[in-house]
Structure 1
Amino acid sequence: MIKITVVSYNNETPSLPNGALFGPEHGTIGRSEDNFLVLPDPKHYVSRAQAKVWSNGTRHHLINLSQANPIIINGQEIEAEREYDIHAGDQIKIGLYQLRVDAVAGTSGDLPPTAATPSLAKTSPTPAATEVPVNAATLSSTAEAARPADSAELLQAFLKGAGLPDLNLSSGLTPELMETMGKLVATSVQGTMDLIAQRALVKREVNADVTLVVLRKNNPLKFFPDSQTVLTQMLRKKMPGFMTPDEAMDDAFQDLRAHQLAVVAGMKAAMDALMKKFQPALFEKRLSPPTLLDHLNPARRKAAMWEHFSRLFDSISLESKDEFQTLFGKDFLTAYEKEIERIKYTAHTEHTKQAS
């Protein structure tokens, strides 16, 4: 038997011992609670079932079950789905965990197959941005006295702003029309904020840069907590440092358009990365050199390649459910940010041409 023990997590010694014994029956290491050796990992650097280990008393073996997360033994990364011999004294690195292999002569006094898990270092969550302590009440103030415009002037101003200066509304500016316009504005603002929130969620999932508060030209749609406060700021323009209403909506829609195109580019990159994992040349490389039997019976080697393909497919299919970031996140993020930069550059170039 052998014992695999957690030496450190994120370079810190665990407060409680964590280890497991492995014998002839295959045992697993991973972050899921049903493993022999459980490695809690909120960052998902460790797969649910990361490794399989067994020992016949004289030889000890380990297989990396994960296509997403690597295992490093004595400074050397090992290939997934291949069997490796491990020995007493070997150092195994999985994610932020450092493990040690020890030979076990007897079971007396040793750890049970599943031991207490370590107390991981706690960190305070970092907010995406500092919330602006403001509400609608603090923005309100008495408007400067001005000559009240008549209803015809107000309606004409609205139609001009809507891009419909020649539209004839025979009913004029009625309370029903004003209520409809108010609902239209409120729905548009709330819908835009919902889309911005979903965009921020996707960016956090793939570790993309998030919007930060700046000293001037902040977009109220991105910083205030609710649509009522946003509308109060837009209509009263009380707080300095924010975009005008039309600037804010235009800025938001530019970001959303860019986000949609960047997501498509990211998904294409992720799909390309997935297809590369199934290249026939990789399966051929991972198999041992052809034997005499393989040459005499080519179907034998093809069957071995198909079996390896099936195991790889099952592994990636399982991990893709909750480990997209580890499997394809880097490819997605690179393509996403590259497309965002391309769109920004194009928009800046067009704006410069129009201004000159």
Structure 2
Amino acid sequence: MPITLTIVDRDQLPDGGPIKFSAGARGFDIGREQHLDWCLPDPERFVSGHHCQVRFRDGGYWLDDISTNGTFVNGSSIRVRSPYRLAHGDRLQIGNYQIEVSLDGQPSPGGIQSSSASPFSPEPAPFGQPAGQSPFAPASSPAAPVHDIWALPGAAAAPAPVDRNWFLEKARQDRGIRPPDALEQFIELPVAARPPIDELHPISPALGNLPGSSISEHAAPAITPPPARGGGSPEQVLALICQAAGLKPDAMAGRDPQEVAREIGLVLRTSTEQLATLLHGRADAKRIARSANRTMIGAADNNALKFTADATEALEIMFQRHRAGYLDAPASFKEAFADIQQHEKATFAAMQRALSRLTEDLTPDSIEEKVGGGFGSAKAKAWEIYVQRWNSKTEHLENGILDVFFGYFSEFYDAMGKKSE
């Protein structure tokens, strides 16, 4: 199955290289370095030297993001969680490049619908059965009439599909009630909405006289619907929300509870997305600075905002699943904001101290002190000392003085983090 990657936001690359890359059932590497399979030049260095790698296995192409600044898929603000299986139509963001994925002539494995498939396509038959054999699908051809001794009086034998509410449907047909709406056949009616047993046609007298029959004498007891779960009225729920938010219980009195619920849901979603983005940015900053103090997933008290791929998974863990080893929602948000606050303080303090150490022996006073007297040309000697000190700091470092700065920065960043603990 060939794969093609195409840059869609420009017509040419700065170095004249190809804007399209194709491969067939093999792996390849993408980045800024010239020797890679696909070189993406980037003077601003948003693209890493070796940005990502794609490997072919299990009949698909799997992307591993190994970059500093991240690889993003389909407009997400959170870097892709590796390994990620590429799908036809995916959009990749690598630095400033928008890249479209094209997979040629191969459906998704296992019959799973790909992301580009129509959401209104018919679903496959359950458990792999042909459509005509499913108990909930129409027969592919009219069935031969069969005498059914359990048929209700007056019911005509017909090849009508059997649905989950068969008895209710039968009662409606016999009483001349209109067929249910198209949507209703897909919805299981609650027990409380079904007609009582005595509203159906009585059992045929012939059946009541069968030997050993006790149907007419011992009717099945009516099923009592389970009691509804408690929780109070919508107004009471709003009062609890106000109370938890530090407001007066009647602060939202008069508002439509459904409208308020939608607003709270939107705020919760936005807050989760943006907070997770800030936490991922914090992790990226620590990685760039090569800080030793990195958050790792443990056995307990993990924060879903840090270790999930997107806001949906984080919300499910915090509010729905209650997965073991993770903090609940209030604790997760509280810890996240505390981490971001600490990160900002440590960043500015570390930056100030790192710059101070970087330049302390490069100041004019420091150079003049080293030069001293007795030299024919003080300026020439000063320049010689300056060059020596600069080279002693930057030799054997790929990015020169920038690597020196980040070395100091990570040292002071970790020190500030330990002080705040």
TM-score, normalised via structure 1 length: 0.48
Larger radius of gyration: 2
Higher relative contact order (CA 8 A, sep 6+): 1
TM-score, normalised via structure 2 length: 0.41
Task: Kindly indicate which of the two structures has a greater share of residues assigned to helix.
Answer: 1
